[in-house]
Amino acid sequence: MIKKLFIATLVALLTFTAPTPVTNITAVAAEKNPVIVIDPGHGGFGDRNLGAQYNGLSEKALTLQVANAMKAELEKYDNVTVYLTRTDDRYISLEDRAAFAKSVNADFVYSIHFNASSEHLFYGSEIWTSGFDKYYKAGAEFGNIESEALGALGLYQKGVKTKLGSSGKDYYGIIRASVARDIPCVIIEHAYIDHGYDVPKVKDASFTNTLGVTDATSVAKYFGLKSATLGVDYSNYKKATVAKPSVVLGADLSDPETCQVNVLATDKASGNVLVEMTANDSNSPIIYFSYSYDGGKTYSYLQMWDRSKQTQSFNVAVPKTCKNPVIVCRAYNNYELFKESNAVAVTDFQ
Ligand SMILES: [Zn+2]
């Protein structure tokens, strides 16, 4: 009797414990296939619907080109559903774009954009996302993959950024409207259409196609997709984990704290002044710097700042016409706020 009871107990234990790991495996395998909404920014007519316009380049046309290329590439992956918010040149409100994403049960909204600045100073890519909780986590984890990929194409990277409006919600409408519907969203500002570093790339139709393919590949990595067509498998791709922020993340609203220059050496023959610059911002990285040899009347183009260092040195070429050079520099953080340095008169130059 005792033996029989023991066997019955053992059978019961096996019966009740065995299914557990099977259930877990099933749960992993049954993870739902992602639904991706690609949003080509802007569209339609009237100033505010065109997006950035500069020297014949039109943001609303470029966004559609990249979005079409992104969709075509993403559809080469298995078990993914892809939608565009617009397929032609028409106005659609940001609320309607997000509502469309909700109606198709989207897992992520990718809003495709190009950039421009009023002074035509800036260049490179930036990725905007929500400042809130899991939406920031998703946006930053995707954004880090995407930023690395865009950097590999030779575009300068300003990284993942957040910005809040006066209401305390996300500043950008497509992000705010998506998050309100529980959908993570990023705005990918691929490049500037008004700066000499980026324009030759943007003007090349094969490059806009490459941008779409790059965006799609980053999505595939983020979601761990695989493609029999392409012969790639990102199902074991390890994306860097970003923690959910403990506070709401807004833009850096303060100028860099430190911007200091010294003159290390001068060479009258060549006109070169070797300048050492120290710059720091504890809230966001220093990404650009510029220099002036005429005491701040005119400045160089923005240069790329080496983010691995707080102090770096460079030559300033002073033209012969400038008899009394005065060196001043500016350090810009990745929200484009700058601090101007002390001025150093080069006394032994002439
Ligand atoms: Zn735009």
Residues 289-309 have pLDDT tens digits of 999 999 999 999 999 999 999
Q: How, if at all, do strands 185-192 and 108-115 pair?
A: parallel
Distance 172 CA to ligand 1 centre (A): 10
- Each domain of the chain, given as residue ranges in start order, spans 32-233, 258-345
Structural contact between residues 293 and 316, judged by C-beta atoms closer than 8 angstroms: yes
- Which are the contacts of 136, defined by CB distance < 8 A and separation ≥ 6? 129, 130, 162, 242, 244, 245, 249
User: Do 32-233 and 258-345 share a fold?
Assistant: no
| 93 vs 42: CA distance, rounded Å | 9
| 310 vs 122: CA distance, rounded Å | 21
Per-residue burial over 156-193, b if 16 or more Cβ lie within 10 Å, else e, is bbbbbbbbbeeeebbbbbbbbbbbeeebbbbbbbbbbb
AA letter at 223:
F
Domain 258-345 CATH class label: mainly beta
Distance 198 CA to ligand 1 centre (A): 16
Residues 53-109 have pLDDT tens digits of 999 999 999 999 999 999 999 999 999 999 999 999 999 999 999 999 999 999 999
As residues whose CB is below 5 A from the ion ligand 1, the structure lists 41, 51, 113
Distance 134 CA to ligand 1 centre (A): 24
Domain 32-233 CATH class label: alpha beta
pTM: 0.89
pLDDT at 333: 96
